[in-house]
Structures are given as C-alpha cells and as structure tokens.
Chain A
Amino acid sequence: MSDDGRDPRPEGLGRRDFIKLGFVGAFAILVPFAVRAAERAPYRREDYTWGFIVDLQKCMGCGACVRACKAENTVPDGFNRTWVERYTVRRDGKVEVDSPLGALNGFPEDVPHPPIEVGKSFFVPKLCNQCSTAPCVQVCPVGASYAAPDGVTLVDRKRCIGCGYCVQACPYGVRYIHPQNGYADKCTLCYHRITKGLQTACAQACPVGARSAGNLKDTTSRIRQLLNSSRYGVLKPALGTNPKCYYIGLDKEVV
C-alpha cells in the first residue's frame, strides 16, 4: 500500500502480467506431472541393497512406529513385526527391560524407580535385522523364506507350510506363525513401499526421525552417510548373521 492510500497498480491486468501469469500457470500444471513421472520410474532391483538404520539417541518411545506397522501390514493381535523395548540401567548396575504390548500404546507409565536410583535409561526399537546370511533363509525346508536380490528377507506366503523352523532359527525373535493364516510372518521392510520410493511405515511415522530404510549401495544415501559418520553396532554379531539393521548409539545391555 502506498502512503496516500491509493492503489498504484493500473486497472485490470496488463499484457506483461498476463504473459507472466501464463508461464507460471503452465509450470504449475506441469510440475505435478513431472514429479509423478519421476516417482513412477521403474524400480531396478540391481541398484539396491536395502539396509535399515535406527538412531537410539533419538527414539523417545512413543510407539507410533508400532501402530503404523500394525495398520500398514495388518499384523495380528498379540504379535509384533516391530516393537520398542525400554532399558533401565540402575545405579547399582541392575538392568530391567520392558515392552508393554510391544509398545503398541507407547509406554503409559514410567519405571517404578525414582530418578536418584536410575543411572541411564533408553528405548530400543526392534525389527527384522535383514541379515545378509540369514539363518531363517538357511533353515526353511521349502524355499518359502528367501533373500531377495536387493537384500530384503521375505516370506512367500503361498509356499510356506508353517513348520516354524525359521521362527526358532531367528536369534532376534522377530518371526511368528500367523495365528489365523498359518504361515510364517515378519517385518518385510515394507518391501511394497520401498520399491515405490516410499519410506517404510515405521520410518515415516517416527516423529523424531529415529528410523529409516536406505540403499547401502548408494554412497550418497542417508544411511551410508550416517554409517560413515557415527559409531554404531548390530545385534548379536557373534552369531554370524551379518545383520543389515544398524543401531547408532547401541548400548552393551541391548541383546
């Protein structure tokens, strides 16, 4: 607005403004198409080796990931494809671990120890470790549990006989037999999402960015950058499963 309150613009739209508007309009219409086309670029398996990274310094135990996974993958009641554990290390060295309903409703209560007794305390989300040499794949008698060429361990629901061998062989307890359908089930790293350029349901839901899946083959990916810049660990390395789920800030007490 100018000082004397009059509108300095001429009446109506001038020619220049009309042309500018035309350009802007054309771009506005075309951009969504370009974006969608980029999204629809075919997924090439050979360009990917999927891994997962969890930042334990960020996780605040809200359980949004557990709820998102349940919704995305219709995980049956009483079983979890992912869950969050709470570790409480007391000053006298005793460790307590809990996970109410797998943190489906977060953690409704604090631990029954006053702060003066608690040394450190933290949350650890758990999921399928997507092992490079997965024992679950090794032991499946019918070739239903398999490793996809892009590094994701999956279950062929049409082949599985529900023997439960893979459930026993998994050192991380991430597998279960579906109580209604009878086949083995587990976290699939949301294969149906990551192959479409989306993040896994749990990573998308996390409000603090503690979880994400990424392409280990791409040196510019977030997962690669984090692995190259932080101290991280994996679960049960001595078992030789070569997990591709990496935990930044992993504590000795986590099993």
Chain B
Amino acid sequence: MHGEAISELMGFVFPNEQHVTWTVMIVLYPYITGLVAGAFIVSSLYHLFGQESLKPVARFALVSSFAFLLFATMPLLLHLGLPTRAFNIMITPSSSSAMAGFGIVYLTYMAIVVVEVWFSMREEIVGRALATTGVLGFLFKALALFDLRVDERTRALDHRVVRFLAGLGIPVACFLHGYVGFLFGSIKANPWWSTPMMFIIFLLSAIVSGIAVLILLFYVISWVRRVEVDAPCVQTMANFLWGFMIIDVALELMQILSIAYQQMAEWEALQILIEDKLFWSHVVIQLLIGSLVPFLLLGLNSLVKLRQRTRNVLIFSSSVLLLIQVLAMRWNVVIGGQLMSKSFRGYTSYMPGLWDHEGLIVAVVVFTVPFLLLRFFDFMVPLFPSDSAIGKGRPS
C-alpha cells in the first residue's frame, strides 16, 4: 500500500489502523501554509505596524507568502484519493466541516494576497514595462493593465490599498493556517489531537516558521549577492522570532503538561507515545534541539550586546533549528496522532516511501518549488527595494 514500509505493530491496533492515512503530505501542508501565514505577518509588521526596520524584507515577505500559497495545495492534491474531484470542496462545502472552510479561506486569502502583491509591486511592474520591449514588454504592460501612470497620487492609492489589505489579511492568514489547527484540535476521536489549544499552537508555530524562513532567505540571498546583511532588519526579525517562539513553545509544553497532569484514561497510552514512539522526533528534535537551543541562542542575541558576526551566527542557526522544530512539530502531531491506536492498546509505525506519490522525493520537490518560483519572481521584478543593500546587490 502506497509504497510505505510494512508497518511494525506494537500491542493491539484496529485492523484498519495499520495503514496511516494522513501521510508526509499532510505534514507538509500545514508547514507550507505556516510559512504563508508567517511571512504575511512579517510583511504586515511593516505595512501596518510601522516596523520601519523591516522595510528591506517587507515586499519580499509578501511575495514569499504568495509563492508558498500557490503551492500550498500541491501536497493536498497529491494526498487525495481522488484528486480530480478536488473542486467538490468548493462546489458543495459542508458547513459542519472544518476542512470545507479551506475552500473559502484559501480563495479569500489568495484574493487578498494577489491584490496586495499587485498593488505593492505595481510601480516595479510599470518600471519593467517601460524598460522592456517586444513580447516581454507587452506582457509587463498587460500585467500593469495598460495603465503606466505613476505619480504621488497613484502611490498614495497603492499604499492605501496595501495597508488596508495588510490589516484585513492578518485575520484571514490566521484563519488559513489556524483552521488546520482547529481541524486537528476538534477531532474528539484522537486524544493526541483533541485540545482547544491546537488552533493557537499551530498559528504561533506558523508565525515562527514564517519569520525563520524569511531570516534564512535573507541571509542566503545577501550572501549570494555578496552584500552585508541588513543588521537592523535581521535583528528586528530575530527579536520577534524569539518572542513568538517563547509563546509557541510555552503553549506546546502547557498542552503536554495539562494532559500529563489530568491523566485521563488515555494518558497511559499517550505516555508511551511520547516517551517511546516519539522520543527522538518529539523530545530530542522538537524540544531539546529545536526549542531549547534556539531559545538560548536568540535570548543571547536579544539581551546581550554582541558583535554583528556573532549575532549572524546565532540568528542564522536559530532560524535553521526553528524551521526544523516546526517541521518536527507538524510531524509529531500529524503522524504521532496516527501512530497510537484508538484502542489505546497499541501502536503502528510509519515511514514514507521514497518514490511513490506521497513519498519523500515528492515531498522534497513540493517543498523546493516555491523557492524556485520566488527566484523566478525576483528575476522578473525586483523584490527588494532599490534603496536597500540587498536590493542594490541584485544582478540585473
């Protein structure tokens, strides 16, 4: 089945549970929409909340959000048993289903991001339209809707629209990612998932991953373009990253503490899940390496006066670790919840196959493509402001 390894069973599981239904694709989906939401929040921190130091990364953050959004549905389509019927979710969405909310929220958010990206990039698009000729020139002019006027008034309008949408987009982005958390948290059949806190935990870890990926990309692109990384920009992002990760990890730990304290009937089985089945992925990777270490490193960065080079090391490594932490968290929730049988008497195992349509190779490809798309967008239209170091370093 599915090219996965044959499951290793421990104890007693219901016959149908030997096969894990929500695979690595369903781990990847909230990871990608998390990046969408997180990147959008960073963009809004500049456009709405006046964090001026984030100007160099704000537009890039918005377009990243857009690029990830375009590919957010890929893991879902690869997972569906009948992907050709995927539109059913928009044709007859059930009002009682959290998953049906996906159709509306995704479209709404896509609309907001498309409008916001267009208005935010309009001046650059017009610039490219004026600078190019031939087919490419025509395409850019078409993209600008054949109105190439740019002046203070158009800028004012563009800015107003972007600001409005940056504000409107925040709750929608929260919904886009939060509904996934709610979806898991409201499944009463699975005690590992069922908690009211799941919505907020998913959301906060999404923001953490979004900031972390932007920091990572900012460093990588600065390095590729051989420019000094914009210190106030990364420092602001790192401060926010530290703040958000504290709240996020606190909530994750709180949730476990709560179920460990209450010790409901299923606690005995959950305890074995955490301490045995998920020991490496949860305790070691998610908590120790993925949470404790970045907490210390970023804390050092935020509280102590350090040289920029040291800061760069701390921030960069913390971002990488936190990206791993959030991925591990998604894995531990999605896969972990299915490892434990609903009989509370046994466990199955899961290892994704390599080449099948829900396998590791496909997962890596699906995750990589948005980054390639971003590169393509930047190739078309500059994503960084021309007055920033990183923007100046752009190869023309």
* A touches B (Cβ under 8 A): yes
Given known pairs A143-B92, A239-B189, the reply for A173 and B343 (CB within 8 Å) is yes
Chain B residue nearest to A160 in the complex (CB): B82
In whole angstroms, how far apart are the Cα atoms of A177 and B17 in the complex? 11
A169–B187 touching, CB < 8 Å:
yes
A182–B82 touching, CB < 8 Å:
yes
A173–B99 touching, CB < 8 Å:
no
B345–A165 touching, CB < 8 Å:
no
Cβ-neighbour of B18 out of A78, A162, A169, A183 (below 8 A): A78
Stretch of B58-66, B83-91, B215-223 with 4 or more beta carbons under 8 angstroms from chain A: B83-91
Q: Please indicate which of the listed interface residues A78, A143, A182 has the most CB atoms of chain B within 10 Å of its own CB.
A: A143
Q: Is B283 an interface residue (CB 8 A)?
A: no
In whole angstroms, how far apart are the Cα atoms of A79 and B17 in the complex? 9
Interface SS of A by simple majority: loop
Q: For chain B residues 1-20, which have a beta carbon within 8 Å of chain A?
A: 1-2, 12, 14-19
- The 8 A CB mask of B91-103 against A (1 = contact, 0 = none) is 1111011111011
Chain B residue nearest to A96 in the complex (CB): B12
Distance to closest chain A CB from B113 (angstroms):
23
- The 8 A CB mask of B1-43 against A (1 = contact, 0 = none) is 1100000000010111111011000000000000000000000
In whole angstroms, how far apart are the Cα atoms of A76 and B17 in the complex? 14
Distance to closest chain A CB from B108 (angstroms):
16
In whole angstroms, how far apart are the Cα atoms of A140 and B97 in the complex? 6
Q: Is A200 an interface residue (CB 8 A)?
A: no
In whole angstroms, how far apart are the Cα atoms of A173 and B338 in the complex? 11
B188–A159 touching, CB < 8 Å:
no
A97–B94 touching, CB < 8 Å:
no
B94–A140 touching, CB < 8 Å:
yes
In whole angstroms, how far apart are the Cα atoms of A111 and B287 in the complex? 41
A83–B15 touching, CB < 8 Å:
yes
Chain B residue nearest to A186 in the complex (CB): B16
Q: Is A98 an interface residue (CB 8 A)?
A: yes
In whole angstroms, how far apart are the Cα atoms of A168 and B85 in the complex? 20
Given known pairs A175-B16, A239-B189, the reply for A142 and B82 (CB within 8 Å) is no
Indicate the size class of the contact surface on chain A: 35 or more
Q: Which A residues are in CB contact (< 8 Å) with B377?
A: none
Q: Which B residues are in CB contact (< 8 Å) with A142?
A: 85, 88-89, 91-94, 100
Cβ-neighbour of A139 out of B80, B98, B337 (below 8 A): B98
Q: Which B residues are in CB contact (< 8 Å) with A58?
A: none
Q: Is A209 an interface residue (CB 8 A)?
A: no
A178–B189 touching, CB < 8 Å:
no
Q: Which B residues are in CB contact (< 8 Å) with A161?
A: 80-83, 85-86, 88-89
In whole angstroms, how far apart are the Cα atoms of A78 and B19 in the complex? 9
A164–B81 touching, CB < 8 Å:
yes
Given known pairs A139-B99, A142-B92, A142-B93, the reply for A168 and B80 (CB within 8 Å) is no
Q: Measuring CB to CB, which residues of chain A are less than 8 angstroms from any residue of chain B?
A: 78-80, 83, 85, 95-99, 101-102, 126, 135, 138-144, 159-165, 167-179, 181-184, 239-240, 255
B16–A176 touching, CB < 8 Å:
yes
B81–A173 touching, CB < 8 Å:
no
Q: Is B79 an interface residue (CB 8 A)?
A: yes
Cβ-neighbour of B22 out of A164, A173, A239 (below 8 A): A164
Cβ-neighbour of A172 out of B2, B91, B98, B342 (below 8 A): B342
A162–B82 touching, CB < 8 Å:
yes
Q: Which 5 A-B pairs have the closest CB atoms?
A: A162-B81, A182-B81, A173-B14, A171-B189, A141-B100
B1–A78 touching, CB < 8 Å:
yes
Q: Please indicate which of the listed interface residues B2, B18, B85, B183 has the most CB atoms of chain A within 10 Å of its own CB.
A: B85
Given known pairs A99-B12, A167-B21, A170-B189, the reply for A177 and B81 (CB within 8 Å) is yes
Cβ-neighbour of B21 out of A138, A160, A171, A177 (below 8 A): A177
Q: For chain B residues 166-184, which have a beta carbon within 8 Å of chain A?
A: 183
Q: Which A residues are in CB contact (< 8 Å) with B102?
A: 141
Q: Please indicate which of the listed interface residues A168, A173, A181, A184 has the most CB atoms of chain B within 10 Å of its own CB.
A: A168
Q: Which A residues are in CB contact (< 8 Å) with B103?
A: 141
Chain B residue nearest to A77 in the complex (CB): B1
Distance to closest chain B CB from A221 (angstroms):
29
Q: Which B residues are in CB contact (< 8 Å) with A167?
A: 16, 21
Distance to closest chain B CB from A127 (angstroms):
12
Q: Is B344 an interface residue (CB 8 A)?
A: yes
Cβ-neighbour of B14 out of A126, A139, A143, A177 (below 8 A): A126
Q: Which A residues are in CB contact (< 8 Å) with B343?
A: 97, 173, 255
B344–A255 touching, CB < 8 Å:
yes
In whole angstroms, how far apart are the Cα atoms of A83 and B81 in the complex? 24
B189–A168 touching, CB < 8 Å:
yes
Q: Please indicate which of the listed interface residues B15, B76, B86 has the most CB atoms of chain A within 10 Å of its own CB.
A: B15
Q: Please indicate which of the listed interface residues B2, B17, B343 has the most CB atoms of chain A within 10 Å of its own CB.
A: B343
B1–A139 touching, CB < 8 Å:
no
- The 8 A CB mask of B119-156 against A (1 = contact, 0 = none) is 00000000000000000000000000000000000000
Q: Which B residues are in CB contact (< 8 Å) with A174?
A: 14, 16
Q: A165-B183, A173-B15 are in contact. List 7 more A-B contacts (CB 8 A).
A: A83-B14, A97-B12, A102-B15, A138-B97, A139-B98, A163-B81, A164-B79
Q: Which A residues are in CB contact (< 8 Å) with B76?
A: 163
A183–B81 touching, CB < 8 Å:
yes
Q: List 9 A–B pairs whose Cβ atoms lie within 8 Å, in order of A's numbering.
A: A99-B12, A135-B188, A139-B187, A141-B88, A142-B92, A143-B94, A168-B189, A177-B81, A182-B82
